[in-house]
A and B are shown apart, each in its own frame.
Chain A
Amino acid sequence: MDIIVCIKRVPDLAEAGLEIAADGRGLRTEDLDFDINEWDDYAVEAAVRLKEQHGGVVTAITVGDEDAEEVLRRALAMGADQAILLDDAAFAGADPFAIATALHACIRSLPFDVVLCGAVTSDGASGQVGGMLAALLDVPQVALATGLEVDGGRARVRHEVEGGLEREVEVALPCLITAQSGLNQPRYVSIRGIRKVADVAIAARSAGDLGLAATAVGEAGSRVRLEGLLLPPAGKRAEILEGSLDAAVATLVERLRERGGL
């Protein structure tokens, strides 16, 4: 089975004091820690498990600069067989569509049965790349997967739907699946695994290598234009409700009622 997994290197925003970069259109990244996007980690794990069950080849792909190599190497250490870095100054400033365009141009020349993406990224949080990529590849997609089994030419996928519900669907391969948290518990990258892939070469491809004009990707190829980023205005001091759970809930309901929330 040929499995492709699309991953992204993202900053850890959970604990960071965020600052807007000088150009007003991004974050200052100097003091941020980067790692693989959490949902992409589920996607890599799912890909490696499919390979372990059915045999085959897992290819990890990311759009990013040379720093992004580290998430590819991490995917290799988890069990991916090869990795491709889509690296070109022309890819900068891409919206989800322009990212999907670059990924599509790379994937269309590769054999694949399943493409896995994270359901969403923790930085941009658009959740659109998977769906757009499926449309460009012209394969069925199942979003927000929480369970995945492949049997013969079909995938049985449990996934989240509106209203907090889940359902199970079956799709024919090839297909694209986006991984939701709960799909699996990603393995720890073992130290031996990291050692093993230390010298694996990672192929880099430019827009030209993919047959894409510079105007078709990155900011030029985007359909959404980012005008600027603003930090949310600082609110008044938060209130922590003390006391037993019941008492705290009662106070909360009261507060919400006072402020017209209920």
Chain B
Amino acid sequence: MSDPYKALDYLDVDELYTDEERMIRDTVRSWVSDRFLPIIAEHNRAATFPTHLIPELGELGVYGASLQGYGCAGLSPVASGLICQELERGDSGLRSFVSVQGSLCMYPIHAYGSEEQKQRYLPKMATGELIGCFGLTEADFGSNPGGLLTKAVRDGDHYVINGSKYWITNGSTADVAVVWAKCEGTIKGFLVDKGTRGYQGKPIKNKFSLRASDTSELVLEDVRVHRSQLLPGVEGLRGPLSCLTQARYGIAFGAIGAAQAAFDEACRYSKVRIQFDKPIARFQLVQNKLVWMASEITKAQLMCWKLGKMKEAGTMHHYHVSMAKRNSCWMALECCRLGRDILGANGITDEYQVMRHMCNLESVITYEGTHDIHGLIVGRQLTGEDAIL
């Protein structure tokens, strides 16, 4: 109500969404305005995630919203993308929290889990009673996760896991971790419950970026999990990569939200900031920046909408997602840099949002595959030449 936000929609992209998709977007948008934006600056300063909002988000229905059954909403790809967009308009940390929960934890349980695992975890994850994290990256294996060192060794009815994971979102908060480990050289996924002996999450401190998000190290020392905790439906790097495709899809939409926040703030500011006796919006250079932002946001909106339609039709491939994730993160980061510029010195304080978004996006452009790695995935698709390995 007090949040004056007006989302840019220059080409009436709204008309491409169904009534239901719009309604879902609007409910998340107003939740973010009313419940999240008033407190985010404080949490960003204190480097805390607003955990008291976890159940509210569950009630709203954003966790695993694209999944069918088990208390999930079963939404269209575009609707679930728009949820990410609206959450990230608030903060990339908020969207990250929800992406990790839905795309990186609920998704693999839904896709590769046993029926018993689905019953046990999914309904409670959909309400937010259980929080998940996704442990793939290790300190020495980021862009090259196939080299991961964490090991699982079979011991009767159990597996014994040793290793460590780094940069794990929700790592210290999570009730269950999806841990990817090598078992006789093959990557497999394990569900490790909080409190399992030898398993521990340790927060990574002093981040400039995603401050309102828990990023942790996972330590796994002789962690014994029963074989019923193995995800039975997948083996190899395909498992974690398929999760990442889901999450990257959400990021492609999400980053647009951050860009829209930056645009809205800068455009509004330019109309009231007087220099040389005129609103700075009257200067050509300022307009040019706003025009650049609006054009890039609009292009990204259209690209993501099309991606959503392809996902719905079953024709979307991971290399399509790479183009959108790469483009959205880049343009959002550039929008924030321009938005900050338009705000002058005011832009460096946390009374305005833009610098928080900008700092966040430095993570978003890196995690889930860096900008360049996604470029190389698209490049491989275009040329048939693999420049990654």
Contact = CB atoms under 8 A, between A and B. Distances in A.
Given A70-B19, A188-B30, A188-B60, A194 B4 contact: no
State the 10 A-B residue pairs at the shortest beta-carbon distance, nearest first.
Answer: A191-B61, A189-B27, A192-B61, A191-B73, A15-B6, A188-B31, A190-B61, A194-B23, A195-B73, A191-B24
Contact of A189 (B23, B74, B75): B23
B155 to A, nearest CB: 42
Interface string B102-122: 000000000000000000000
A153 B272 CA distance: 55
A190 B75 contact: no
B23 A74 contact: yes
11 contacts: A15-B6, A70-B19, A70-B22, A73-B19, A188-B31, A191-B27, A191-B60, A191-B62, A191-B75, A191-B83, A195-B61
Interface string B31-74: 10000000000000000000000000001111001000000011
B73 A192 contact: yes
Contacts of B27: 188-191, 194
Nearest to B274: A237
Contacts of B73: 191-192, 195
A191 B28 CA distance: 9
A65 to B, nearest CB: 14
Interface residues of B, number: 21
Count class of interface residues, chain A = 10 to 19
B221 interface: no
Given A190-B61, A191-B73, A193-B61, 17 more contacts: A15-B4, A15-B6, A33-B6, A69-B19, A70-B19, A70-B22, A77-B23, A188-B31, A190-B59, A191-B24, A191-B60, A191-B62, A191-B83, A192-B73, A194-B27, A195-B73, A195-B74
Nearest to A77: B23
B312 interface: no
Contacts of A19: none
Contacts of B62: 191
Interface in A190-217: 190-195, 198
A14 interface: yes
A192 B75 CA distance: 9
Interface of A is mostly: helix
A122 to B, nearest CB: 12
A2 interface: no
A73 B18 CA distance: 13
A191 B19 CA distance: 13
A35 interface: yes
A189 B24 CA distance: 8
Nearest to B5: A15
B96 to A, nearest CB: 19
B26 interface: yes
Contacts of A194: 20, 23-24, 27
Nearest to B27: A189
Contacts of B19: 69-70, 73
Contacts of A35: 26
Interface string A62-89: 0000000110011001000000000000
B83 to A, nearest CB: 8
Contacts of A190: 27, 59-61
Interface in B272-313: none
Contacts of A189: 23, 27
Interface string A7-48: 000000011000000000000000001010000000000000
A77 B60 CA distance: 12
Nearest to B56: A188
Nearest to A185: B34
A17 to B, nearest CB: 11
Contact of B75 (A33, A69, A195): A195
Contacts of B6: 15, 33
B135 to A, nearest CB: 28
A219 B82 CA distance: 40
A74 B26 CA distance: 11
Contacts of A195: 20, 61, 73-75
Interface in B327-374: none
Nearest to A196: B73
A70 B59 contact: no
Contacts of A74: 23
Nearest to B34: A188
Contacts of B75: 191, 195
Nearest to A74: B23
Nearest to A12: B6
A236 to B, nearest CB: 14
A234 to B, nearest CB: 14
Nearest to B73: A191
B122 to A, nearest CB: 14
A192 B69 CA distance: 11
A17 B65 CA distance: 36
A190 B28 CA distance: 9
Contacts of B4: 14-15
A117 B73 CA distance: 31
B23 A70 contact: yes
A37 to B, nearest CB: 13
